[in-house]
Amino acid sequence: DGGITQSPKYLFRKEGQNVTLSCEQNLNHDAMYWYRQDPGQGLRLIYYSQIVNDFQKGDIAEGYSVSREKKESFPLTVTSAQKNPTAFYLCASSFRRGGGNQPQHFGDGTRLSIL
Amino acid sequence: DQQVKQNSPSLSVQEGRISILNCDYTNSMFDYFLWYKKYPAEGPTFLISISSIKDKNEDGRFTVFLNKSAKHLSLHIVPSQPGDSAVYFCAASASGGTSYGKLTFGQGTILTVHP
C-alpha cells in the first residue's frame, strides 16, 4: 500500500540532545512538508521541500533542520536550540502540479517528549 | 497573525442531523481550500477541497461552500454519523509564487456526533 511512514510513533529524549524524526513516502510525491501540532492549536509549518536537494523554511523553522537527498525521504532534526520541542510532529507529501493546488497527505505522526 | 480562523472550538450534533463547520480567512491570495479530519494520535485525513473558481463542491455526505466576498467557507455533513466525531481542520493555500503548495491551517473544531 502506498503511504507515508513516520517513525518512531513515540520518542523520548533528554534536554540538550538533538533528535531526528524519520519520514518516508512511496506515493511518488514531489513535495514534502513538516508540521508541528500543539494542544488546542492548528498545524504550523516547519519546513517544506518541493524537489530533491531543495527546501524552504516554514513559519516556525528556528531550532529545526531538514535534508532532502532522496525523493522518498525528508528527515527532520530537532536541535537543542529548539526552546519547546515537546509536540506532535506530522509529515505530509503532495504532487507538485496544478499551481500547488494539490491535497497533502499525512503520516500518523511522531510524538516527541523531552525529559 | 491568524490567516485562517475556526472560531468554534467545538460543535455537538445529534446523529442524523446536519453538522456545519465554519472557517474564515483573511488572505485574499488564497485560492484553494481544503478540509481535513483528524482522530487523536493520527495524522489528518483529506476530506474535500474547493478551488476559488467554484462556490460549492460536493462529495457524498460532505459539501463545502465558499463565499469569496465574505472570505468564508463552510463544511456541511449530512446526515451526521457517530463515526464523524473528530477534529476538523480547514486549510488554505495560494497558488504560485513563494507560497507554492504551502498550506495554512485553522485551529480546528472538535465535532461530537451523539447517537
pLDDT for the residue numbered A29: 92
pLDDT for the residue numbered B94: 86
What count of other Cβ atoms lies within 10 Å of the Cβ of residue A14?
9
pLDDT for the residue numbered A55: 93
**Do A46 and A56 touch, CB atoms closer than 8 A?**
no
Q: Is B115 on the interface with A (CB under 8 A)?
A: no
Per residue in B34-80, pLDDT tens? 999 999 888 999 999 999 999 999 999 999 999 999 999 999 999 99
Looking at the complex, report in whole angstroms how far the Cα of residue B105 sits from the nearest Cα belonging to chain A.
6
pLDDT for the residue numbered A97: 63
pLDDT for the residue numbered B47: 96
How far, in Å, CA of B44 to CA of A94, rounded? Answer: 14
Question: What is the bridge-based pairing of β-strands A10-13 and A110-114?
Answer: parallel
pLDDT for the residue numbered A83: 87
pLDDT at B18 over 60: yes
pLDDT for the residue numbered B96: 67
Q: What is the pLDDT along chain A (115 residues), one digit of tens a residue?
A: 669 999 999 999 888 899 999 999 999 999 999 999 998 788 999 999 988 999 999 999 999 999 999 999 999 999 988 889 999 999 999 987 655 578 899 999 999 998 8
Q: Which residues pair with A115 in a beta bridge?
A: none
pLDDT for the residue numbered A93: 94
Q: Is B66 on the interface with A (CB under 8 A)?
A: no
SS (H, E, C) A17-57: CCEEEEEEECCCCCEEEEEEECCCCCEEEEEEEEECCEEEE
pLDDT for the residue numbered A40: 78
**Of B57, B94, B25, B47, nearest to A98 (Cα)?**
B94
Q: Which three cell numbers stand for residue A52?
A: 530533491
Please tell me whether the peptide bond between A8 and the residue prior to it is cis, using omega within 30 degrees of 0: yes
Would you place residue B2 in the very low, low, confident or very high pLDDT band (cuts 50, 70, 90)? confident
Is B103's CB within 8 Å of A104's CB? yes
How far, in Å, CA of B65 to CA of B74, rounded? Answer: 5
User: Which chain B residue's Cα is nearest to A5?
Assistant: B43
**Do A101 and B95 touch, CB atoms closer than 8 A?**
yes
How far, in Å, CA of B93 to CA of B108, rounded? Answer: 16
Residues of A in contact with B44 (CB under 8 A): 43, 90, 106
